[in-house]
Every structure is written in C-alpha cells, then in structure tokens.
Amino acid sequence: MRYDEYRGFDAVGLADLVRRGEVHPTELLRVALERCAEVDPALNAISLLMELNGKELAGRAEPGGPFAGVPFLIKDLVQDYAGYPTSCGTGPLRGVPATQHSIAVQRWLDAGLVIFGKTTTPEFGSKAITETRTFGATRNPWDTARTPGGSSGGSAAAIAAGIVPMAGASDGGGSIRIPAGSTGLFGLKAGRGLIPSGPVIGDFLLGAATEGVLSRSVRDTAVMFDVLGVPDPGAPYIVARPEQPYRTAVDTPPRRLRIGFSHESPLGTAVDGEAVKAVEDAARLLEELGHTVEPAAPVVDGKQMAFDFMTVWTASAATDLARACAVSGAAATDFDIDTQALAAVGRAVPAPELMAAHGRWNVYTRALSDFHARYDLLLTPTLAEPPLLIGQNRTPALADTLLPPLLRLGAGKVMSRTDFYRDLVTANLAAVPFTQLANITGRPAMSVPTHWTATGLPLGVQFVGPSNSEYLLLQLAAEIETARPWFDRHPSI
C-alpha cells in the first residue's frame, strides 16, 4: 500500500480492507512507521516509539474487531500499557513501567488496534500547549511555528500529519477539543461517566476528565464510543447509554435543533476576529441545514468559574507531583517549574476552600442546565484565537529563575491569596476560555473543523450538549461533515 492510498481511508475503512483481505496489518504498520520517520523529526509528536510491540501485534492480528489491524498511538498520560512507562510528559516517570493495561488500552487491543507508540503531552496534561522540559515542543503540521494545542497535542499532530487516522486522547479542561480545533480534526469529549478510566484511576479530576480519541472522521469516533463506552462495574459512575449503537448516529440525521451561540469570552478577555468568524460561519451553515440558531449563552460568572476550576486543578497537580516523586524517587525540582508552581499553590489550598470551590461547580452545572432547557446545544469558538506560536505561552525566563527559591520558601500559600494569581489564571486561560465549562459540568462537548483562517490555519467551533447527548452530537457532526467535508484537507508537511 502506498501512503496516498493509506491516507485516503479512515480507521474504519482501513479495518474493512483488512477484513476483506485486501491489505495485511503489517503493511499498514509499515506505511505508518515510514510516515512517522518522515514527519516526526519536524513535529516531535511521538514520545515513545513502541515499534517492536506494534510489529508483534500486527503479525498476529486477526481480521475481527471494529479496528482490526489499524495502526494506533496512545497518549502518554493515564493510558497505561503494561511493561512500558507512562511518562505523563515528565523525565522521572520515563523509567517507571506500568504494571497493567488501563481499561481504555485493553479495550483498544480487544478492538484489534495495533499500538506502536505513545504521543507527547505537557507535564501531567496541565497546559493547552504541548511543550515540556523533557520532550521539548510539539509542533502543528499546519504551521510548525505553532502549537497543535494540548494536552493531547502529540496525538493531534500525528493524526493531522497522516501517521495514523485516529489516536488516543483525554480531556480534563479541553484537551481533546483544543488540539482538534488547532489541527483540523474532530474531537468529542464524552460526558461524565460514559468512558471509564480505571483500574488505577476512578474519579479522574473529580469527574472533570475523561478519556477518548481524536480522529479525522466522525464515524471513527462514533465506532470508538461503542468500544470505549461499555459500563465498568468498578467505575464511580454508571450512566445511561443509547438503545442503538453510536455507530448508527452517522447514518441518522438529527432532528431540527435550536442552538444558542456566543463568541464572547466568559472571562471577559479578547476574542480574535477569526474565532468570531468561525462561529458566525457555523451559525449560517446550521441555518442552511434547517436548524434554528440565535445568540444566547449560559449565565455564569466566568472569572469565578475559572478560579474554581483551577483550585481543583492545582490540588490535583500537588497530588500528581507527590505521587510521581514517590514512585520514581525524584525530587520536585526534577519537574517543570510550571508543575512545581501549580503544586505549590495546590498544597496551600485548605480542605474547606477546596470543597467550597468544588461545591460551586454545581452553580455552573445548574446554569448550563437552565440554558439547555431552552436550547438543544451551545455553540462557541473552540479557541479564542488561532493556534499559539511555539513559546508564546512559555514561563518567562525570569520567572524560571526566581520561582524555585520562592517556592522553597513556601510562596505557594502567599501566591494563591493574591490578585496576581487570579490575574495569572485569567491570562493563562484567555486563549482557551470556552472549554472548561463542559468539564466542570460533566457534559459532552465536541470541536468540529468548519473553519480555516485567512492564512490557512484550522480553527474549530465547539458544541456543548446536555447530559447523554453524545449520540445527538455525533448526528450533528456527521451532518456538518457531509455539508462541509474536511477529511481530504491536509497540511503541506
């Protein structure tokens, strides 16, 4: 098989070729590895190449399962593969192999996927860019001077560059949707409880995070939801599933919907004109498809919501850092300075304050529920601006020098109480202010690649649905995909 032939199929299509005996999994893996060798030096999308593992899986692959024989990459965060390290974007954890497969990895193997590597992520998935001290910067295939987003940036770069048609991802604050919006891909974050994260992790980020995939086609994600969305008796949540398989959603047009849209940042920060254009263009397309679209947004205090989100996030960062030091024997100073700062703030949060911040998540959930009582879906930009330049969101060199001694003196407690910290939270989320609401509320949300900027950069739009609306979102995404195809749009890399 030639690369141009390989690129012309999604994962379901490649599995169908394997099932019909028209191509062998070893041939698909050969093409994927050759493409990886060709483009990854410029992208830095792969953190760990598991070539021998992939060849073993491809050699004994059976033509059963929905993705039998298809090359696949997993995210180097939470998605444990027994015998290989899950580095979480860090240096110290590169030497700590996982003792068992995560549930998602086992389900991917059972579905027939040929896993041959892990993709880059920022340390502990804590940024909307993919840049670390250990692995360096991962670059966007549409413009290698820019980020592919984060934290599933490596997966997004690998898919957009044509190494694989689909890859593992996860989303705790936008980490599926932000990379999808940055690289011209489709990304659907499942609602709370649909996709289990076990067995090591149960209630990931107090229910804000979920595992999933990024893909080039809606049907790949739909079929993947059937693979990943099976209830786990040991999971903290068991939620309702639709009566019909998710894969049927792509063949069933949605009912005519009432959709509220907004391109105003909930933080009150600036939104680039291209992001505004993306939403207005999507609104016009939806009207052409027969949907009712009008300006509307949930009534929330966006700045307070961001702070309440970050209060939980920093406490989680402190826990992640302590656990990583314990299992690796490393010191906190062996990790990125950003991680050290987040953890210091997290350790300074009193338990009552943490519980109060998490308790206010209910306020935002109720506000979104009130919105969905009037509108089927919420439409916003995925990003407030085109993908950032590499280094644009990097910690300044001066802070890199000054923070370590301050943190040793216990500056985390002082910093968390200052207006400076609140302003810093707002500034760091200003480029991605639209995605955290769906994580806080546990609602499904997707980024759909409907818009490219005047300079040729993808800039997706986000749809947020009510509880258990994954099927509806897939239906709408498939309708948009037919009306505004994106599968054959490729970067020039």
Mean pLDDT by 10 residues, the chain (493 residues): 98 97 97 98 98 97 91 98 98 97 98 98 95 96 98 98 98 98 98 94 92 98 98 92 97 97 97 98 98 98 95 95 97 91 90 96 98 98 97 67 63 62 77 98 98 98 98 98 98 91
How do the residues of the chain divide into helix, strand and coil, expressed in percent and rounded to 5? 45, 15, 40
CB count, 10 Å around CB of 414? 15
In the set 75, 118, 189, 303, the catalytic residue is: 75
CA distances from 401 to 63, 349, 398 (A): 55, 24, 5
Q: How far apart are CA 47 and CA 41, in angstroms?
A: 11
**Helix segments in 196-350, DSSP class H:** 218-228, 273-288, 302-328, 337-347
Q: What is the largest CA-CA distance in the chain?
A: 65
Q: Which amino acid is at 300?
A: V
CB 186 within 8 A of CB 449: yes
Closest CA to 493 of 85, 182, 43: 43
- Annotated active-site residue 303? The verdict is no
Closest CA to 103 of 227, 278, 275, 205: 227
Which residues are CB-contacts of 72 (< 8 A; sequence separation ≥ 6)? 11, 108, 113, 114, 115, 116, 164, 166, 167, 168
Q: Which residue has the tokens 């100073």?
A: 333
CA distances from 303 to 220, 300, 482 (A): 36, 9, 37
Q: How far apart are CA 57 and CA 60, in angstroms?
A: 6
Closest CA to 194 of 167, 171, 215: 171
CB 136 within 8 A of CB 336: no
User: What single DSSP character describes residue 259?
Assistant: E
Q: 82 - beta bridge partners?
A: 98
Q: How far apart are CA 432 and CA 426, in angstroms?
A: 10
User: CA angle at residue 331 from 329 to 337, to 5 degrees?
Assistant: 140
CA distances from 69 to 26, 58, 223, 443 (A): 8, 6, 15, 32
User: What single DSSP character describes residue 8?
Assistant: T
pLDDT score, position 398 = 47
User: What single DSSP character describes residue 453?
Assistant: -
CB 117 within 8 A of CB 73: yes
CB 196 within 8 A of CB 235: yes
Closest CA to 156 of 187, 178, 179, 124: 179
Secondary structure (3-state) at 376: coil
CB 433 within 8 A of CB 269: yes
pLDDT score, position 177 = 98
pTM: 0.96
Q: Which amino acid is at 257?
A: L
H-run or E-run covering 186: strand 186-189
Domains and CATH numbers, the chain: 3-257+468-483 (3.90.1300.10)
CA distances from 106 to 25, 29, 168 (A): 19, 19, 12
Which residues are CB-contacts of 181 (< 8 A; sequence separation ≥ 6)? 149, 187, 381, 382, 383, 447, 449, 458, 459, 460, 461, 462
User: CA angle at residue 210 from 205 to 215, to 5 degrees?
Assistant: 145
pLDDT score, position 238 = 87
In the set 47, 87, 102, 151, the catalytic residue is: 151
Q: 295 - beta bridge partners?
A: 261
- Annotated active-site residue 151? The verdict is yes
In the set 102, 152, 170, 175, the catalytic residue is: 175
Q: HSE of 441 in the Cβ direction (CA atoms, 13 Å)?
A: 26
Tokens of 96: 């700590």
Q: Is the backbone peptide bond immediately before 199 cis, with ω within 30 degrees of 0? A: yes
CB-based burial of residue 196 (10 Å sphere; 0-12 exposed, 13-18 middle, 19+ buried)? buried
- Annotated active-site residue 75? The verdict is yes
CB count, 10 Å around CB of 292? 13
